């Protein structure tokens, strides 16, 4: 048995357990061939039926009430596309290191980089405020 087959059975059981309490909350989208990350995200988004869609990578772990601040911002302005700040989790001891809020970007060589916000935003001392 390969790893994917093993995960498939466990994933189906997990989704079934969620549906017992929250029918239809989780939907699995399966492809006949392997897709890149962007295409996989887009196909999930197209299959979504909710008022708000959250697309999380497999390495993202959320905690209780993680969505409420994001949903409040969306309620204020439905044209927003939001991303939360992600803390770094040390793989050795699982300690958290908060990341400094910054914009994600890419340089011309397509290396990921982080651009600082304008000083006025940091002076607000409220990380829940949106940034353009």
* pLDDT tens track, the chain, 132 positions: 445 666 667 888 888 999 999 998 888 888 899 888 889 889 988 998 888 888 887 777 788 888 898 888 889 888 877 777 778 888 889 888 888 888 878 889 988 888 889 999 999 998 877 777
Pairing verdict, β 88-89 and 96-97: antiparallel
Helix, strand or coil, per DSSP, at residue 14: helix
**pTM: predicted TM-score of the whole model, two decimal places:** 0.58
What is the distance between the alpha carbons of residues 8 and 31, in angstroms, rounded to a whole number?
13
Q: List the structure tokens of 65.
A: 């009430």
Where are the chain's structural domains? 1-50, 60-132
What is the distance between the alpha carbons of residues 42 and 36, in angstroms, rounded to a whole number?
10
Cβ atoms of residues 45 and 55 within 8 Å = yes
Which pLDDT score is estimated for 9?
72
């Amino acid at each position: 048995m390969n790893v994917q087959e093993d995960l498939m059975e466990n994933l189906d059981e997990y989704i079934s357990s969620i549906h017992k309490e929250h029918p239809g909350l989780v939907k699995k989208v399966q492809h006949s061939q392997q897709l890149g990350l962007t295409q996989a995200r887009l196909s999930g988004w197209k299959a979504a039926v909710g008022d708000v869609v959250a697309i999380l990578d497999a390495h993202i772990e959320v905690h209780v009430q993680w969505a409420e601040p994001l949903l409040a911002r969306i309620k204020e302005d439905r044209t927003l596309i939001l991303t939360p700040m992600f803390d770094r989790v040390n793989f050795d001891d699982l300690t958290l290191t908060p990341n400094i809020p910054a914009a994600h970007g890419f340089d011309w060589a397509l290396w990921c980089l982080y651009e600082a916000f304008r000083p006025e935003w940091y002076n607000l001392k409220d990380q829940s405020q949106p940034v353009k």
